[in-house]
Amino acid sequence: MCGIVGYTGKQNCMSILLRGLGSLAYRGYDSAGVAIWNGTTIAVTKERGKLFALEDALDKKPIEGTTGIGHTRWATHGEPNVVNAHPHTDAKGQLALVHNGIIENYRTLKEQLLREGVTFVSETDTEVVAQMIGKLYDGDPKKAVLRAMNKLEGTFALAILFRDEPDTLYCVCNGSPMVVGRGRSGSFVASDIPALLPYTRKVTFLENRQMAILQKNGIRYYDRDGNPIEKEITEVEWDVEAARKGNFEHFMLKEIHEQPDALLHTIEQYVSSRTGCLREDAFPWTKEEANQLKRLRIVSCGSAYHAGLVGKKFLEHLAKLPVEVEVASEYRYSDALYSENEPMMLISQSGETADTIAAMRMAKSRNQETVAICNVIGSTIARECDRTLFTYAGPEIAVAATKSYLTQTVVLFLLALDLAEKRGWLTHSKVQEQLERLKRVPDDMRAVLARKEQVQAYANRHALTKKMFFIGRGLDHALCLEAALKLKEIAYIHTDAYAAGELKHGTIALVEDGSLVISVATQKPLLSKMASNMEEVRVRGADILAITNGSSGMEEHCDEQWDFPEVPDMMAPFLAVIPLQLLAYYIGVARGCSIDQPRNLAKSVTVE
């Protein structure tokens, strides 16, 4: 979704803003712009389309100046064109601002401003904010911004540059992230950490309705009433390299390859290197609380929802804890019944997904315990949940979730082991056995990655396939849902995932000569059932690829088989997911798709 950067300092800011916008481009956008104080006025340049259009325009007509703001816009109110692109200004040209989020009461505010004689040029909710601040401005920017902020409903992160204070940026937010930091040459603001990484790893997250005033020599913070406050500095562990493509053609491929390390880093945080046991303080519930749990409600979206489905299998199988998994956009408008001792778990890579946040707030409003699994320190979900289990995937830049999904499933597995022991379903030594095996999984993953050419060759042969089905049972079905989502978003192929036993209740009517069926068959007790389902589609003309846990005897039921080093059934998802991600990736490449920024998609879905 939209991205914000801002800088004030000693250096020329145009290239700083463009670089920052480039590092936020992964979030998805359809226009971009900057506003820079050029010594006489606030000069604004905006372009529709990708960043290079803005870069071209600024190449032709550079803006010199040391204070400015920039934005990548993912259209919500009004089509993606130059007029609707940010930054927006007020009628008198007193200020320019950029905005992430959605102003829910913008119509009411706009009508009022129209009655007061303000003329609007764009269709956006953002211009309403710019015009309103312009109207409220009487020479004191801080007062005008705070007064305007208190009239706004909805979500916003705003960075504002005033003509009368051209070396200062005013920043406020509510429900939309904003992070600020000091570098050697000045002060920076952005909507996401990667934009700040080249300058500093010491950052501060603004909380709802707080204000940061940035100047080249320092940053001051205020509460919603304008009182000065102290803010904590967080050290970000990601480095700049982690947010670069390196030798890989796409971020997605790089991130798929980072999974063995992401798994290791995640294990390191939950398993003590000294004792080799699960860390007492890393998990949310004591033994007594674990035994009181009646049910866990997992709420999330997209790939994070699929991770939740995998987690359900882990938790129910290992810890005998009943789990319900819900899509957040549905859950938030459902009756959402819940009972005592039923915590809600929110899974989110970004920690900023609007529907997941809404579900979290529903839980909080009724005092239901909330636990997050999240990849971004300082994100809204990580801050607001009672407890957060972090994933240690590092920055995920490609829109398609890969390493974040994997690490979410690993955290759920570790939680399941922790609860299994506390609830008396696994002995300590059985848990240790599992942990020992898990620690070797990264090497197994590397072995799977080393065979990527095989996946690429297969993808090239099948890139023009129009119909594709993923089938599996139990854990494998949960995995199939994720595999199908990857293929849809990366390769734009209409596909779906089916519980293999459910095929004959309707879907099998779609299978015909040449249909491609990917059968995920990693769960030993279900192999004979899978074999029958594969035969059912084979006799109807399907071409079958089977993904198996070790050599499993499935080869006679399929046209091609990819096996991975044998692991206990519960760990199969960590390995099986890799060929499935690679398959989507290579088919997408063969079809010439935009891999890291698929059409219509954004990295974090901060609007409903």
Residue numbers of the site for ligand F6R (CB under 6 A)?
Answer: 301-304, 348-350, 353, 356, 400-401, 485, 489, 604-605
Q: How many residues does the chain have?
A: 608
Pairing, β 31-37 against β 67-73: antiparallel
Q: Looking at beta carbons only, is 84 or 581 nearer to ligand F6R?
A: 581
Instruction: State the nearest-atom distance from the C-beta of 363 to ligand F6R, in Å.
Output: 16
Q: From residue 225, give the alpha-carbon distance in Å to each of 210, 211, 259.
A: 9, 10, 45
CB 481 within 8 A of CB 469: no
Spot the catalytic one: 2, 385, 480, 558.
Answer: 2
Nearest approach, Cβ of residue 357 and ligand F6R (Å): 9
If the CB atoms of residues 248 and 425 are measured against ligand F6R, the closer one turns out to be 248
Q: Identify which of residues 406 and 500 has a Cβ nearer to ligand F6R in the complex.
A: 406
> Catalytic: 603?
yes
110 vs 250, which CB is nearer to ligand F6R? 250
Residue 151 a catalytic site member: no
**In the complex with ligand F6R, which residue's Cβ is closer, 125 or 489?**
489
Give the pair of three-digit tokens for residue 270: 């939950």
CB of 130 to ligand F6R, least distance (A): 29
- Nearest distance, CB of residue 191 and ligand F6R, angstroms: 14
Buried b (16+ CB within 10 A) or exposed e, 481-507: bbbbbbbbbbbebebbbbbbeebeeee
Residues 100, 143 contacting (CB under 8 angstroms): no
N-terminal to C-terminal alpha carbon distance within the chain: 12
| Of 254, 312, 403, 603, catalytic | 603
Residue among 304 and 537 whose Cβ is closer to ligand F6R: 304
Distance CA 351, CA 56 (A): 34
d(CA 581, CA 518): 13
Q: How far apart are CA 379 and CA 608, in angstroms?
A: 17
CA 157, 161, 165, 168 torsion: positive or negative? positive
Of all residues in the shown chain, the one whose CB is closest to ligand F6R is 302
Contacts of 99 (CB under 8 A, 6+ apart): 2, 4, 71, 86, 88, 125, 126, 129, 156, 157, 158
Nearer to ligand F6R, 149 or 518 (CB): 518
Give residues with Cβ within 8 angstroms of 391, minimum separation 6: 262, 266, 349, 373, 374, 375, 404, 407, 408, 410, 411
The nearest distance, CB 376 to ligand F6R, in angstroms, is: 8
Residue 578 CB, nearest approach to ligand F6R (Å):
15
Output the smallest distance, CB 197 to ligand F6R, in A. Answer: 19
CB of 252 to ligand F6R, least distance (A): 9
> How many whole angstroms separate alpha carbon 601 and alpha carbon 74?
9
Spatial strand order of the sheet with 42-48 comes to: 42-48, 31-37, 67-73, 3-9, 186-190, 179-182, 202-205, 234-235
Closer by beta carbon to ligand F6R, 174 or else 604 = 604
Strands of the 468-472 sheet, one edge to the other = 495-499, 468-472, 516-521, 543-549, 560-564
Half-sphere exposure of 291 (CA within 13 A, CB side): 7
CA-based nearest residue to 89, from 111, 62, 118: 118
Rounded Cα–Cα distance for residues 26 and 354 (Å) = 18
Strand partners, 270: none
Q: Residues 290, 341: contact at Cβ < 8 Å?
A: no
Question: CB 360 → ligand F6R: shortest distance, Å?
Answer: 11
Q: Which is nearer to ligand F6R, 68 or 308 (CB)?
A: 308
Active-site residues, by number, are 2, 603
